[in-house]
Structure 1
Amino acid sequence: MSEDTDGKHGVQSMEVGMSILRAMVDGQRSMMLKDIAAAAGMPASKAHRYLVSLIRAGLVEQDPMSSRYDLGPFALNVGLVALDRLDRVRLGLNAIAELRDEINQTTALAVWGDRGPVVVRWERPRRPITVNVITGTVLELLSSATGRVFAAWMPRKVVAPLLAAEMKAPDLPPELKSKAGVEALLADVRARGFATTDGFHKVPGVTAAAVPVFNFRNEITMALLAVGVQGMLDTSADGLEVSHLRRHAEALSLRLGATGEPKPPQ
């Protein structure tokens, strides 16, 4: 069978072309012909022939100044469409179900709504004493771990009015009643990569930990959280609950196309 003929097992030339694209994706930067050929495991002359066709299809483009190759506009469009079609909530629901089984704590998934973070689903653990989370609950930004995660990474213009209103609440700790105190809290959340309400929660005796999930724009898109009885849920950075939360959030972010550092709030 020739390289460009197809059979019942597929089109070999298509598979070769995809191997070149895969090499370019794995390279994570624009590449010279020799580097693409080496990564794809083929002679440079063969790789060049395929690159010419990929350029014509818009999947690859070449910089005329440096002669380096990179993904083209059609390849980028394909990637963005694929990401847009991902059901992020479905992926998040799978994650909190697995997370519940791993840590045996109440777990939940939250997204940003019109008035702040909203719980879209929660999973009950298998233990006699549990903390229930009501689906549809809108969480406050300063008194919930999930709210703190969203406040730390959402655009400032979005969260500023909500934060200003919450700072007037009489039951807030003194350090959260000033703009400087709130900014210090959110900076700490960004530095640690997660938020907790170990010492302060709207419901006495309840503690929680939350981690952000980022999309292909490196913007926060969801939050995973674990909620439990104070003293029965470890909110330390290297504890079981936070470690598993972070692992699932990182896997989800990667699945949704996040790369590099999260986008800082503007």
Structure 2
Amino acid sequence: MASDKGKPAEEWTQRRIQSIEVGFQVIRAMEAANGPLPLRDIAAAAGMPPSKAHLYLVSFVKEGVAFQDPVTGHYGLGRFAIQLGLSAIRQLDVVELAREELATLQRATGFATYLSLWGDRGPGIVSKVDGQRQGSLAVRLGYVLPLLTSATGQVFLTYLDESETAAVRQDEIAAAKRDHSEETASLAPRITTVKDIQKIVETVRRQGYAMTVNSINSSFAAIAAPVFDYSSRIVATMTVLGSDKQLSGPRKKQTLDALLTATHRLSERLGASSRGVKGKENETPVAAKPAKARSTAGR
């Protein structure tokens, strides 16, 4: 520290920040690996000489951020790194983090945007920003959307474990068979079979998003995309709602790009890796199986 004497405080602080940033190159190299790495590989990934990387690793091992395998000599993330990650996860609040993304998405598209979480009755809206182009239709907080015929629901149908959606799915199938009329047919397609559901799942997985037209109100369309957490599990769905005429043509692509950018960014803030988020779009779909019907009394 003797060399720091006589240096302005601002210059000394800036050099210390740069040192931390360099050190994080070593941490990121270990985080991106599938297991402990030899010193030479960590140094190469961090873009520095092995001697320099070793100095950082010695300090990280001492503080528990990294560990060194006594047999192979390889380095990996240590117990404190795990504790730090778990602490960060505990402090995450998807609803709070999504507020900024919803507002940004609304400004970019002009459409209403909302965030939905999964509940025992299906996907419910927990946060929203009204749009300039939404016309007379306004979604309300707490509203539970259909699982099979709404874009929001179809995203949860695709990425949630089948056992979590089974009861709601079977209730909606039973209702569709019982109540389907010419009036409801004009609003939403008839979805009553495993084959119908499988087609939805395959389409959403292939595209990475769902789009429905006239599902809850005539002349309106919605586009929804998933939000994942650190375990690559879906935790929420972000949706854009607007006129079916406005959500078509070039404007659809612009809106979709903005939506996917927002959901990917929010997923990464929740700990999902960019590789994991993109990979979800290409997963092989699991066949939907019929489940035992559950009474809808009291819903």
Give the TM-score category using the shorter length: 0.7 to 0.9
Q: Specify the alignment match of 1:89 in structure 2.
A: 95
* CA deviation after TM superposition for structure 1 residue 139, in Å: 1.2
Higher alpha-carbon deviation: 25-34 or 94-103: 25-34
Q: Is 1:24–1:31's contact at 8 Å kept on the other side of the alignment? A: no
1:246-257 superposed matches below 5 A: 246-257=260-271
CA distance in 2, matches of 1:181, 1:244: 29
1:150-229 superposed matches below 5 A: 150-170=156-176, 171=180, 176-198=191-213, 200-229=214-243
Q: Does 1:241 align with 2:255?
A: yes
* CA deviation after TM superposition for structure 1 residue 49, in Å: 4.1
Q: Is 1:235–1:241's contact at 8 Å kept on the other side of the alignment? A: no
CA distance in 1, matches of 2:251, 2:74: 43
Runs of at least 5 residues in structure 1 that lack an aligned partner in the other structure: none
Deviations 1:186-228 (CA, angstroms, capped at 9, x unpaired): 1211111001112x51322221110001111111111110111
Which secondary structure state, in structure 2, belongs to the residue aligned with residue 101 of structure 1? helix
Q: Specify the alignment match of 1:63 in structure 2.
A: 69
Which secondary structure state, in structure 1, belongs to the residue aligned with residue 174 of structure 2? coil
Give the 3 Å change call, closer, same or farther, for CA 26–180 of structure 1 in structure 2.
Answer: same
The percentage of aligned residue pairs carrying the same residue is: 33
CA distance in 2, matches of 1:37, 1:84: 32
Which secondary structure state, in structure 1, belongs to the residue aligned with residue 280 of structure 2? coil
**Count of aligned residue pairs for this structure pair:** 265
Q: Is 1:196–1:235's contact at 8 Å kept on the other side of the alignment? A: no
| RMSD of aligned residue pairs (Cα, Å) | 3.2
CA distance in 2, matches of 1:186, 1:92: 25
* CA deviation after TM superposition for structure 1 residue 118, in Å: 0.9
Q: Is 2:228–2:272's contact at 8 Å kept on the other side of the alignment? A: yes
More helix per residue: 2
Match of 1:54 among 57, 60, 63: 60
Give the TM-score normalised by the residue count of structure 1.
0.85
Give the TM-score normalised by the residue count of structure 2.
0.76
Give the 3 Å change call, closer, same or farther, for CA 65–192 of structure 1 in structure 2.
Answer: farther
AA partner of residue 236 (structure 2):
M
Q: Specify the alignment match of 2:140 in structure 1.
A: 134
Give the 3 Å change call, closer, same or farther, for CA 115–2 of structure 1 in structure 2.
Answer: farther
Q: Is 2:133–2:242's contact at 8 Å kept on the other side of the alignment? A: no
Deviations 1:151-197 (CA, angstroms, capped at 9, x unpaired): 11111111111111111123376762111221221121111100111
Higher alpha-carbon deviation: 138-147 or 45-54: 45-54
* CA deviation after TM superposition for structure 1 residue 22, in Å: 3.1
